[in-house]
A and B are shown apart, each in its own frame.
Chain A
Amino acid sequence: MAPLVEARGVTRVLPLTVPVTLVEGVDLAIGPGELVAITGPSGSGKSSLLYLLGLLDSPTEGEVLIDGAPTHAMSTDQRAALRLERIGFVFQFHFLLPEFSVLGNVAIPMRRLGRLAPGDIEARAASILTRLGLGDHMHKRPDQLSGGQRQRVAVARALANDPPLILADEPTGSLDSAASEQVFEILAGIAGQAGKSVVAVTHDIDMAERMDRRVHLVDGRIVSDERRSTRSEGKEART
């Protein structure tokens, strides 16, 4: 089975007057069911790698494959379609649309995809939010929620179209420890579902230790890629 996302020799250089190398020669394959931590010092290229894996950015060398299919020749529309269906993003800051309700924000990806009837979209958004403990806040606006709650709404939005791959860039970076724990549990729970993977950039070493796999970046290069056998074995037993 092809990896959900794979980077082959990916290098991204910003063509500035003094060219800046964001990531260099990255080979990384994320298979189904993985919960991957990307760690590294600040400025090591963690976010840049995540944008490349999520087709928000394109490599200057090498290529990114989604479900085994190369993406470098795709049009921006095709890449957008892949993001819509196959990838869910969570950023450090929630980036919710301030004018839409919590429910409205979660409904947006589904409405854009247009596969479900309006009633079904609302029902699904409500069920995701309830699952993430936000059942009482669905009709509030984002600015009426706490930081942790907003970040959970952002996760709910990333889950809306049921994508196999969730990419999270320091999702707990701006949260207190209790809220961080909640969000982490949610992401771990997603990775526990059949065929789903979560790749999360994190500064939190404890959190990284609790994940299946830890990819460490320094200066845009992968310096270590370790799997923790226990959790992986447990998962294999489950699936």
Chain B
Amino acid sequence: MRLLLEIALTHIRGRARQTVVSVAGVTLGVGFAIGMAALMQGSQDEFVTTLIDAMPHVQITDETRTPRTQPAERIYGAVEIHGLKPRDDPRGILNPVEAMTGLRSWVPGAISAGLRVSGVARYGGTDRGVSILGIEPADELQVSKVAEDIIAGGLSDLVGGGFAAVIGDSLAERLGAGMGDSIRLSASTGVARNFKIVGLFHTGVVATDETLVYVRLKSAQVLAGRQNAVNDIRIRLGDPDAAPAVAARAEELLGLKAVSWQEANESILEAFAVRNIIMYTVVAAILVVAGFGIFNIVSIITHEKARDIAILKSIGFRERDVRIVFMAEGAVMGGLGGALGALLGAALTAYMGTIEFEFREATEVTHLPVTWNWIHYAIAASLALVTAALAGYLPARKAAQGNPVDIIRGAT
């Protein structure tokens, strides 16, 4: 085996310049593949992290995936009922206290129960349609990252008697109201109260900053005219990957629609998957091109060394030995290219990590997101090795099969 490798190396040395070119091809292929993977994975990770941070991992609302069964259908089983006037069901999670206690007993994470009421905010002469979200600040702070977006006051200031609200900075601007001002919130039920602004937030998402209003759960229930009502349970898990399982179980237990963050962002995650497929296809194409280079040079060497092959076979080398020699040449080039490519990839990744972007709006400096993942190196390098060995195999097989007599005769 060592002998075969030694022979392979002498052949490569004899073709140093072409070998360098082939190795450079593999190096570039592997290097850019790794750099690209680091960047794509980095941006994907950053996006998903933002996503996971920004939204609840599981959201349970008072909707069902199928239309609600009416009491009459439940009672009269198989009977098909027509012309029934649906019972005017006050929407909301039935028996929220029981539902919450049930969830808290098994969900591995924080839970916040809320009541969402649509309404209108009025200050001075201005009206704005708003979405009023009643929450318990202590619970809400565990479930959402709203605390990071607070620019004045705080969510916990909602507690402390009286009707208080935390609103988006854009909404405040539109209304012309500021901290300490009293705005009037009226719910679609007709109930209206004055709320003192005790906090402002800025999420950067326009729709949220213009319409969302945080109040205490109790206040929202007053506006909705429904004691104890809850229609929006949000869960934040220690392990975001567990969300689909938790959602499925919650849905089964409560009979209400529970959506995991993965489900809510399915199309985005699918787009990422497609992007990864495209990336790996491009990488494979680059490596195939590099493989052609290796195929080429190994073919040249097999022709150049036809005499040596014949003599080795006359000495008693098996066809397999000859094959190994030339496959080793391909593999050495692939391995060398893979190793250098890994270095190049690491260098590219490190360099890209230092590139800075300055957005005019956000004054903070953003780095190009890159991820260091050994799997990228393993995949790229082993792909290079496999491609190279294959590129060496084809000419190697041909060389090994040839009849040494033809060559010896030709030379004599």
Contacts and interface: CB of A to CB of B under 8 A. Distances in A.
B56 interface: no
Given A93-B412, A99-B14, A84 B404 contact: no
Contact of B405 (A51, A81, A109): A51
Nearest to B305: A97
Contacts of A82: 316
A170 interface: yes
A93 B314 CA distance: 14
B315 A112 contact: yes
B273 to A, nearest CB: 48
A47 B308 CA distance: 19
Contacts of B320: 77
Interface residues of A, number: 31
A179 interface: no
Contacts of A203: none
Contacts of B10: 97, 99-100
A91 interface: yes
Nearest to B307: A95
Contacts of B318: 76-77, 80-81
Interface string A86-117: 01010111011101100000001101110000
B405 A57 contact: yes
Contact of A83 (B13, B315, B321, B412): B315
Nearest to B316: A84
Nearest to B1: A114
Contact of A108 (B3, B405, B409): B3
Contacts of B319: 76-77, 80
Interface residues of B, number: 28
Contacts of A97: 7, 10, 308, 311
A109 B7 contact: no
B141 to A, nearest CB: 73
Contacts of A112: 3, 315-317, 321
B412 A157 contact: no
A54 B314 contact: yes
B408 interface: yes
Mostly helix, strand, loop or mixed at chain B's interface?
helix
Interface in A191-229: none
Contacts of B3: 108, 111-112
B410 to A, nearest CB: 11
Contacts of A2: none
Interface string B296-324: 00000000000110111111111111000
A41 to B, nearest CB: 16
A28 to B, nearest CB: 19
Interface string A59-80: 0000000000000000011001
B248 to A, nearest CB: 59
A162 interface: no
B13 A99 contact: yes
B411 interface: yes
A109 B311 contact: no
Contact of A84 (B315, B408, B411): B315
A34 interface: no
A81 B321 CA distance: 12
Nearest to B4: A112
Contact of A81 (B312, B316, B408, B412): B316
A95 B316 contact: no
A37 B11 CA distance: 37
B37 to A, nearest CB: 39
Contacts of A77: 318-320
B315 A109 contact: yes
Contacts of A51: 405, 408
A83 B314 contact: yes
Q: Closest 5 A-B residue pairs measured CB to CB?
A: A84-B316, A99-B10, A83-B316, A95-B311, A111-B3
29 contacts: A54-B314, A57-B405, A80-B313, A80-B317, A80-B319, A81-B316, A81-B318, A83-B315, A83-B316, A84-B317, A85-B316, A87-B316, A91-B408, A91-B411, A92-B412, A95-B307, A95-B314, A95-B408, A97-B10, A99-B11, A100-B10, A108-B312, A108-B315, A109-B316, A111-B3, A112-B316, A112-B317, A113-B316, A157-B315
Given A92-B412, A95-B411, 16 more contacts: A47-B409, A77-B318, A83-B316, A84-B315, A87-B316, A91-B311, A91-B314, A91-B408, A93-B411, A93-B412, A97-B7, A97-B308, A99-B13, A108-B315, A112-B316, A157-B315
Interface of B: 2-3, 7, 10-11, 13-14, 307-308, 310-321, 403-405, 408-409, 411-412
